[in-house]
Structure 1
C-alpha cells in the first residue's frame, strides 16, 4: 500500500488531514499526519513519528508532504524513513497545501515517482494566486 505522510510544525499536518477528509474520505486510512509540537524536541518528534508510521509494512511505500523544505519535521521524518529503509523509493515534496494533498491522495495509487510529482506540483502552484473581488461600484464605473 502507498501512504501519504503529512508532516509539519505545530498542528498544520493534523488540520490539513481533517480538511483532506472532506474531499477524499475513502483514502483517510492511508493518510498519516504528524506535527512537531511547540516546545517539543526533535528526538521526541522522531519518537512520535516512528509511532505514527509503526503500522507500515516492508511492502508499503510513502509520499511525504511537508510544510517547509529543510525544516525539522521533514528532515527528522526523512531520517526515520531512512532508518526503516523507506527513503529510497519515497516521493518527498515541501510547501504543502490542500490542493497538493488532495491531488496526492487521489493520484498516489495511479502514478509513480516523477509522474506523481508532475501531477502534484502544478496543482499546488496553481492554488497560489490573488483573489480579486469586483465590487458593484467598480462594475458601475465600466458603464
Structure 2
C-alpha cells in the first residue's frame, strides 16, 4: 500500500489531513500527518514517526509532502524512512499545499512516482492564482 505522509512544523499537516478528509472519502485512511510541535526536539518527533512506520506493512511505500525541504521535520522523517529501507523508493516533495495533497491522495495508487510527481507539480502550479475582483460602477436609482 502507498501512504501519503504529510510532514510539517506545528499542526499544519494535521489540519491539512482534516481538510483532505472532506474531499477524499475512505482513502484518507492511507494519509499520515506528523508535525514537529513547539518546544519539541527532533528526537521526540523521530520516536513518534518510528512508532507509526514500524506498525505499517513491510511492503509500504510513501509519498511524502512537506511544508519545506530541509526543515528538521522532513529530515527527521527521511532518517526514519532510511532506517526502514524506504527512503530511495519514496517520492518526497516540499512546498505542500492543498492542491498537491489532494492530487497525491487521489492519484497515488494509480500512478508510478514519476507520473505522480509531474501531476502533483502541475496541479500545485495551476492552483496558484490571484483573484482579480472587477469593480463595476455603482448604478443609481435613475438607471433602474
Which category describes the TM-score, using the shorter chain as reference length? Answer: over 0.9
Equivalent residues in 2 for 1:1-143, closer than 5 Å:
1-137=1-137
Partner Cα distance (1:51, 1:128) in 2: 35
- Aligned-residue RMSD, C-alpha: 1.4
Q: Give 1:121 deviation, angstroms.
A: 0.7
Q: TM-score, normalised by structure 2?
A: 0.92
Partner Cα distance (1:48, 1:135) in 2: 51
SS at match of 1:53: helix
Q: Is the 8 A contact 1:32 1:53 kept in 2?
A: no
Partner Cα distance (1:55, 1:124) in 2: 31
Partner Cα distance (1:83, 1:118) in 2: 27
Q: TM-score, normalised by structure 1?
A: 0.92
Partner Cα distance (2:73, 2:54) in 1: 17
Bigger radius of gyration, 1 or 2? 2
1:51-104 deviation line (CA, Å, top 9, x unaligned): 232321111101000000111111110000000111111000110100100000
Q: Quick one: structure 1 residues 116 and 137, their matched pair in 2 at CA, closer, same or farther if it must change by over 3 Å?
A: same
Aligned residues: 139
1:17-71 deviation line (CA, Å, top 9, x unaligned): 0000011022111000000001100111111111232321111101000000111
